Homo-oligomer: A and B are copies of this chain.
């Protein structure tokens, strides 16, 4: 899924918001990155492409775009990391400690687990995102620690 095949611009304009160079840059950077990026990293990446852009603008737009549902923040390591929301299914992230790859697991992998928590603790989970650390198959095969 790319934001190029997704007309988020008109969606914004329709609601009276504006499509600025800065907003497009942020969407571009998020879309081009293979992994989720923190606000800080986004400030940097955006500035690489367009030196004039201010951090405050990036922060403001990350909130704005999240509120509008165009991107999605995930808490991790004490920071918010952003990814395109678009028509993507909600999902979980499995991050490899070896190579850093991020595997996306569909939301339904947690069904049985959440059912168990409900059964054993009467607790009904509402968290819609999990971020787990571990080792991917490739790293384990190649003798990762």
Contact = CB atoms under 8 A, between A and B. Distances in A.
Interface string A121-145: 1111111001011111100100000
A113 B140 CA distance: 19
A117 B56 CA distance: 39
A123 B110 contact: no
A62 to B, nearest CB: 14
B120 A105 contact: yes
A141 to B, nearest CB: 9
Interface stretch (A4-12, A14-22, A64-72, A74-82): A74-82
B109 A112 contact: no
Given A77-B75, A78-B79, A117-B94, A123 B103 contact: yes
Interface string A98-121: 000001010001101100110011
A136 B123 contact: yes
A97 interface: yes
Given A77-B75, A112-B116, A105 B133 contact: no
